[in-house]
Amino acid sequence: MSSLLIPKVIGHRGAAAYAPENTLSSIHAAADLGIEWVELDVKLTRDGTAVIFHDESLLRCAGVDALIKDMDWKDVQELDAGSWYGDSFIGEKIPSLEDALNVVIERGLGLNLELKPCAGREKETAEIALDIASRIWSEDGPQPLISSFQHVSLETTMDMIPEWPRALLLDEHHENWREIAEYLDIATLNINGNTATREEVEDYIELQKPLLAYTINDTELARELMRWGVDGVFADNPDVIREAIETQH
């Protein structure tokens, strides 16, 4: 597993404060801000197309009261994933993983790809997404960091592309987190920075792996986490958070 050069701030779902999350516009927005890495979520449609989307339901970001797992790709392509955010994004589409990766590569960005499977599709989501990513991703640049809350998805990643770095996502502090992290041979630990205590952070740091915290849009919290020893944060407003960290004394 190659050594990771992870920036202190990663754009969350692109740059979700400036464009509809997980869209091509959001990836471009992060790149335009000079952000080095973005985080994107990948799920599967009913017919097994890997798409960049976070929620189970299409309601919040596409205005349709349906689950993405119940819709085929041809129908998902018809949806408007931008108008909820603002008039200037009317007509923005839910991108396929392939289209999103091409933009990430074209803009020279690093990537944290979160496997966000619907229940029961933990292995399938990893298999399909990684098959696409491994064909598209350049061998020249830094390898993408593959993250998930789902241990089966990370196990599948470990089996398919062991050389790509893996990240275990933790929403809360579990007693057996270390055992799971060591079993999955993770490269980074990605924690909920809004709820983690200083004692928990100190516990995580003992693993001696880069510690990343999501989703940190508050400048003071970002600074505090850095003082505690967190190595990097995910932010919807990555330019604002980066400036706050860089000017910290």
Sign of CA dihedral 143, 39, 102, 110: negative
Active site residue 54: yes
Alpha carbon of 46 to those of 50, 66, 71, 156, 222: distances in Å?
10, 12, 5, 20, 38
Contact between residue 9 and residue 38 where contact means Cβ atoms under 8 Å apart: no
- Active-site option among 12, 151, 174, 249: 12
12 carries an active-site annotation: yes
- Which of 28, 54, 151, 249 is labelled catalytic? 54
Q: In whole angstroms, what is the distance from residue 215 CA to residue 208 CA?
A: 22
Residue 248: what are its φ and ψ, rounded to 5°?
-70, 135
Point out the residues that are catalytic.
Answer: 12, 54
